[in-house]
Chain A
Amino acid sequence: GAVVSQHPSRVICKSGTSVKIECRSLDFQATTMFWYRQFPKQSLMLMATSNEGSKATYEQGVEKDKFLINHASLTLSTLTVTSAHPEDSSFYICSARPGQGGDNTQYFGPGTRLTVL
């Protein structure tokens, strides 16, 4: 149980284009989903927290107009990187938290590797 999927697993795009990444909890309902970014040999960096049906909460320094997050249902959250530039190239990872019964465990998706040319 507790499987989280991400799509696509890898994307290469041209500078200036927008890229959408989907995160789905496959066998549970996620009250909260999280989006992380990780550069090579660096720690996970939390970008934003999203709750179903409400606006995402962004971490300090993360541009909310550039990284659009939508948590449309209890099983789906999307991250759109708008007008992507080479410096946005990174490993984007989502996680989902069931939240029911006080379970604070986060389950991670497999990640999406974004390369902006």
Chain B
Amino acid sequence: QKEVEQNSGPLSVPEGAIASLNCTYSDRGSQSFFWYRQYSGKSPELIMSIYSNGDKEDGRFTAQLNKASQYVSLLIRDSQPSDSATYLCAVYSGNTGKLIFGQGTTLQVKP
């Protein structure tokens, strides 16, 4: 089992729809979780961090964390073609001091 798992996609949604990106992790002791967006040919860009169970909203983005289920998700409301990118879920490992990345989910928003 991979430490951080994401469906590689592509996930295709129409413009204006809600895109739901999911991530599971194996280390039950993890406390810090991050979502990054990476456009093709560019470096990752931080979208959100989340540390507590529940929802955290920032504009059109909502991160959801459920530590009991070891599950993190990112919702993108009113999806735009400019949201088309690869979304990376990352979990901080207290044991190693590193971020463990999922392989990323490619999102395609079609006009």
Contacts and interface: CB of A to CB of B under 8 A. Distances in A.
Interface of A: 2, 32, 34, 43-44, 46, 49, 91, 93, 104-111
B97 interface: yes
Given A104-B32, A105-B34, A105-B49, A34 B98 contact: yes
Interface in B85-111: 88, 90, 92, 97-99, 101, 103-104
A49 B97 contact: yes
A107 B46 CA distance: 7
B98 A46 contact: yes
Interface of B: 32, 34, 36, 41-46, 49, 88, 90, 92, 97-99, 101, 103-104
Contacts of A106: 34, 46, 90, 99
The SS class assigned to the B binding surface is strand
Contacts of A43: 101, 103-104
Contacts of A104: 32, 92, 99
A108 B103 contact: no
B43 A108 contact: yes
A37 B9 CA distance: 22
Contacts of A91: 41, 43
A102 to B, nearest CB: 9
Given A44-B101, A108-B43, A111-B43, 12 more contacts: A2-B46, A43-B103, A43-B104, A91-B41, A105-B46, A105-B49, A106-B90, A106-B99, A107-B46, A108-B36, A108-B44, A109-B43
